[in-house]
Amino acid sequence: MSGWNLTGISAAPWEHPGAAPSAGAAAEDDPNILSVTQAVKLAGATLDELPPITVLGEVSGFRGPYGARGHCYFQIKDESSSLECIIWGGVYKASPYELKNGLKMRFTGKFEVYARTGKMSFTISRFEPVGEGLLRQQVAALAEKLRREGLMDEARKRPIPAFCTRVAVVTSLSGAVIDDVKRTLRRRNPLVELICVGSRVQGEGAEAELIEALGRAAAIEPAPDCILLVRGGGSFEDLMTFNDEALARAVAASPVPVVTGIGHEPDTSICDMVSDRRCSTPTAAAESVAPAATELAELLRTREHRLATAMASATGEAASELARASERATHAIEARLSREALALRVLAERPCLRRPDETVLRRASELEQSADRLEAAMARGQERLRSSLERLLVRFPAGESLLATPRADLARASERLVRAGRGVCDARSSELARQAASLDALSPLKVLARGYAIAYDGEGVATSAGSFAPGDALRVRFADGEVSGTVSAVAPAAASAGA
């Protein structure tokens, strides 16, 4: 520690010129002995001279962010040591990464000493994941991205058929996984047809091979009921193939439902999250799409029993309903027959139906009586007419002599009337001719024919110039037609004469 002298010959950084030592200090007795405050300040000053350092460690005992400021407190450790750490809220909020226990991270910061307790801590200014921790952060970010897009929504996922008969499996054809799948399907249901589509499941380029294999599996004709995307267990880094974004989108977009069985129980891959069904292992995936034959037989027996019960119940209900309907129909028919029988009895009580011969005889007798009365009445009428005719014939010659004188008077009166009518008509015709001549002489049309005209205002014939005012409409009639116009000026007769 160059620059420091504990003998008191040179001043320490915490000492100020002219400052007296504290009352409890031992410096008066021995300049090489420091107070607690001096020791803490010495340690803090020494650590302040150190440049920022980067430490690799695992997060442990993480606490925070606390309150509105968001400070975080935790330790970082390795196999043999641990270090108290602080991240101020502003630093933590500005970082794209989140901290949690178990993450292996790289931390950059400086050591500081808290004066009140003398405890040393590592104040971090920057941190970032490394190794598996970095991969987990990347996987978490991708999962959140796809979740926001809706690729993990349960409503989007398609149901897997309860009884799959054709199953395609996409996996490595050289490992034990494919044998496990085949063995599981044969054991549970040998009727299930298995179609194997090979692909690498890890290593460089495995993602592209798996995407291409999924496409080939979905294009199989006839189409399989589902696709198994499986692989065995491995490290987190080995399973990163199934955390690839392009592969995850291919799984979500597959036209055939996809069941994943990626053998790494503690972790869930992105492909697991977007698949239509996620199983923990390849064997579990195969079991989920191929119910055992014994299970199917039991299911069939259960369904058969339920069907028989339902049919018996339905048959019983139908029989009961039929009996009720038959009873209702019987009652209705009996009621109808009763009404018809009553109506027949009422009709049968009518005399025309009880004794039809008596009715016919009575009506015949009534008709004969009516005919006799009609014949007698007609005879009496004929007799009255004959008597009247005879009386008229007796009186007819006397009537002719009585009419002779009135007829002669009528003829003479007619002649006088004709002569008088002619005289009256001639006199009236002469008088009418004289009046017509006088009327024709007084007719306005005759006046118009001599060159005069008739003026009309809005109400009729105008008899005075005072009937008009400038701007009024004017209509003038001549013998051969009419003209219309507007009055521009009105002048009295005297003015016109003077002009």
Give the Cα separation of 243 and 137 in Å (integer): 12
**134-143, 228-237, 304-313: which has the highest mean pLDDT?**
304-313
**Are residues 126 and 163 located together in one domain of the fold?**
no
- What's the average model confidence in pLDDT over 436-458? 75
Are both 125 and 205 inside the same structural domain? no
Lowest mean pLDDT among 26-30, 103-107, 307-311: 26-30
Yes or no: say if 209 and 200 are a contact pair by the CB < 8 Å rule. Answer: yes
- Is residue 17's pLDDT more than 70? no
33 pLDDT above the threshold of 70: yes
Q: Are residues 173 and 271 in the same domain?
A: yes
Q: Tell me which residue of 214, 241, 239 sits closest to 226, measured CA to CA.
A: 214
Do 94 and 165 lie in one domain? The reply is: no
| Residue 173 and residue 68 share a domain | no
Smallest CA-to-CA distance from 268 within 244, 285, 243, 248 is with: 243
| Residue that finishes a domain, picked among 291, 318, 350 | 291
Rounded CA separation 309/67 (Å):
65
How many whole angstroms separate alpha carbon 233 and alpha carbon 262?
A: 7
Q: Assess if residue 276 is contained within a domain.
A: yes
Are 229 and 251 spatial neighbours (Cβ–Cβ below 8 Å)? yes
Per-residue pLDDT band for 55 (boundaries 50, 70, 90) equals very high
How many folded domains does the chain comprise? 3
The distance from CA 110 to its chain's CA centroid, rounded to whole angstroms, is 61
Same domain, yes or no, for 124 and 162?
A: no
| Residue 40, in any domain of the structure | no
Residue range 454-481: mean pLDDT, rounded: 84
Is residue 72 located within the same domain as residue 121?
Answer: yes
Whether 339 is in a domain gets the answer: no
Task: Judge whether residue 411 has pLDDT over 50.
Answer: yes
Q: Are 91 and 187 part of one and the same domain?
A: no
Q: Which of 12-26, 295-309, 394-408 has the lowest mean pLDDT?
A: 12-26
Mean pLDDT, rounded, for 268-273: 91
Range of the domain at 126: 50-130
Q: Tell me how far apart the alpha carbons of residues 287 and 361 are, in angstroms, rounded to a whole number.
A: 103
For the chain, what percent of residues have pLDDT higher than 70? 87
Residue 471 in this model has a pLDDT that exceeds 60: yes
**C-alpha dihedral sign at 96, 102, 104, 107:** positive
Question: Looking at the domain assignment, is residue 314 inside a domain?
Answer: no
pLDDT at 299 over 60: yes
How many angstroms from the chain centroid is the CA of residue 18? 87
- Euclidean distance between CA atoms 53 and 30, whole angstroms: 36
| Of 291 and 89, the one with more pLDDT | 89
User: Quick check: pTM over 0.85?
Assistant: no
Question: Residue 434 corresponds to which amino acid?
Answer: R
Question: CATH number for the domain including 277?
Answer: 3.40.50.2300
Q: Are both 60 and 110 inside the same structural domain?
A: yes
Interacting residues of 32 by C-beta distance below 8 A, sequence separation 6+: 6, 7, 8
* 63 assigned to some structural domain: yes
Domain boundary, last residue among 260, 291, 322: 291
How does residue 8 score in pLDDT terms, banded at 50, 70 and 90? very low
Asked whether residue 279 falls in the same domain as residue 189, the answer is yes
3-state secondary structure the chain: CCCCCCCCCCCCCCCCCCCCCCCCCCCCCCCCCCCHHHHHHHHHHHHHCCCCEEEEEEEEEEEEEECCCCEEEEEEECCCCEEEEEECHHHHHHCCCCCCCCCEEEEEEEEEEECCCCEEEEEEEEEEECCHHHHHHHHHHHHHHHHHHCCCCCCCCCCCCCCCCEEEEEECCCCHHHHHHHHHHHHHCCCCEEEEEECCCCCCCHHHHHHHHHHHHHCCCCCCCEEEEEECCCCCCHHHHHHCHHHHHHHHHCCCCEEEEECCCCCCCHHHHHCCEEECCHHHHHHHHCCCHHHHHHHHHHHHHHHHHHHHHHHHHHHHHHHHHHHHHHHHHHHHHHHHHHHHHHHHCCHHHHCHHHHHHHHHHHHHHHHHHHHHHHHHHHHHHHHHHHHHHHHHHHHHHHHHHHHHHHHHHHHHHHHHHHHHHHHHHHHHHHHHHHHHHHCHHHHHHCCCCEEECCCCECCCHHHCCCCCEEEEEECCEEEEEECCCCCCHHHHHHC
Domain identity same for 265 and 162 = yes
Mean pLDDT, rounded, for 174-187: 91
Do 190 and 115 lie in a common domain? no
| Residue 10 belongs to some domain of the structure | no
Write down the pLDDT at residue 286: 93
Tokens of 215: 């496409």
Query: C-alpha distances in angstroms, 417 versus 18, 110, 409?
Result: 179, 161, 12
CATH classification at residue 59:
2.40.50.140
pLDDT for the residue 84: 95
Q: How far apart are CA 8 and CA 441, in angstroms?
A: 166
Q: How confident is the model at residue 260 (pLDDT cuts 50, 70, 90)?
A: very high
Domain termination site, one of 291, 326, 352:
291
Token reading at 159: 């149901």
Segment of 8-12, 59-63, 139-143 carrying the highest mean pLDDT: 59-63
- Return the closest-CA partner of residue 83 out of 50, 110, 117, 43: 110
Range with the poorest average pLDDT among 8-22, 82-96, 247-261 = 8-22
| 134 has pLDDT over 80 | no
Average pLDDT for 164-176:
92
Structure confidence at residue 494 (pLDDT)? 62
Report the C-alpha gap between 157 and 16 in whole angstroms: 74
Residue with tokens 């007719």: 443
